[in-house]
Amino acid sequence: MGAAGHARRSCLAVPGSNPKMLDKAQGLAADQVFLDLEDAVAPLAKPGARKNIVAALRDGDWTGKARVVRVNDLTTQWTYQDVIELVEGAGGYLDAIMLPKVQEAAHVRWLDLTLTQLERSLGLPRGGIGIEAQIENAKGLVNVDDIAAASPRLETIIFGPADFMASINMKSLVVGAVHPDYPGDQYHYILMRILMAARTHDLQAIDGPYLQIRDVDGFREVARRSAALGFDGKWVLHPGQIEAANEVYSPSQQDYDHAELILDAYEHFTSEAGGKLGAVMLGDEMIDEASRKMALVVAAKGRAAGLARTSSFTPPEAG
């Protein structure tokens, strides 16, 4: 897949109709930049936005970032032209296409088949362009398991809160924040449902935006909720949210060091030299195979975030 395995803690949205923002985004510390042809672009501006995005992908420096374009959804008249112009103009510079408002597996399969035809006709590597599916209404959530299994190109499942809130008649105008009248997190079920479908098929799970762009503390608070569940990252709508997202969806230095110690200790103690033990003590903590699996997750996130170890494991002396 085009961007599989790329850490996507912060996913920056950039309107395709704004060349200045397309240029500025290249120098920001986001893990992914998705260039938007959908909600952020007025209908009359969409043809020009396609051209802007193709030029930005071809001529820009996106080093270290996953390059994604969000096309329009399949209920509109723009989607097929979005895909054709993007891939014909900049297919070799594109990691994935984000399909919004996905309601059923057929939507993903349509994009898969269209990309396959374009790749063949243009001589691009087959399967090189990935797909990200955005769940934005009740029907999409009900069908999320089938959607997650719809294509080997699929890399990511994304929660789109604004349209989802409208689709279920949620009584709120604040997107992404916890509702004060609800005794808990009103998004918890939705997030867990998306997460289970994503993990079943080894996909990334990305949380949607927090629209109060100057309230970084509020962004951090809601980001911690999906990060605690296991989400890989979150959309950012403003450069001021990028650092917070990168921080929240990365392990702390202490947790990263501890995870690496668990991995080293378990490898040693299960070896011939370590006594071929299955459950052992690491300090005051018992570790076993389940501990190793948990540590692998945290260590992988830390490595992807560029953390360096500040401690090392020393095997105990024999006897």
User: Euclidean distance between the first and final Cα of the chain, in Å?
Assistant: 50
pLDDT at 171: 79
92 DSSP 8-state letter:
G
pLDDT at 58: 97
Most confident of 105-114, 294-303, 306-315: 105-114
pLDDT at 29: 93
pLDDT at 310: 94
pTM of the model: 0.89
Evaluate if residue 179 carries a pLDDT over 80.
no
pLDDT at 8: 80
pLDDT at 4: 38
CB 307 within 8 A of CB 250: yes
CB 210 within 8 A of CB 176: yes
Give the residue with greater pLDDT, 239 vs 275. Answer: 239
Secondary structure (3-state) at 265: helix
For residues 97-119, give the mean pLDDT. 98
C-alpha distance from residue 20 to each of 16, 17, 25, 53 (Å): 10, 9, 9, 12
For residues 295-315, give the mean pLDDT. 89
For residues 70-81, give the mean pLDDT. 97
**What crossing angle do the helices spanning 79-90 and 46-59 adopt, rounded to 10°?**
20
CB 69 within 8 A of CB 90: no
pLDDT at 3: 36
pLDDT at 318: 59
Evaluate if residue 5 carries a pLDDT over 60.
no
% the chain with pLDDT above 90? 77
Q: Return the beta strands (E) in the chain as ranges.
A: 10-15, 32-36, 66-70, 96-99, 130-135, 154-159, 204-207, 233-236, 280-282, 285-287
Confidence label for 7 from pLDDT (cuts 50, 70 and 90): low
For residues 132-159, give the mean pLDDT. 98
For residues 156-181, give the mean pLDDT. 85
pLDDT at 6: 52
pLDDT at 185: 84
User: Hey, what CATH class is 10-248 in?
Assistant: alpha beta
pLDDT at 241: 95
For residues 274-282, give the mean pLDDT. 86
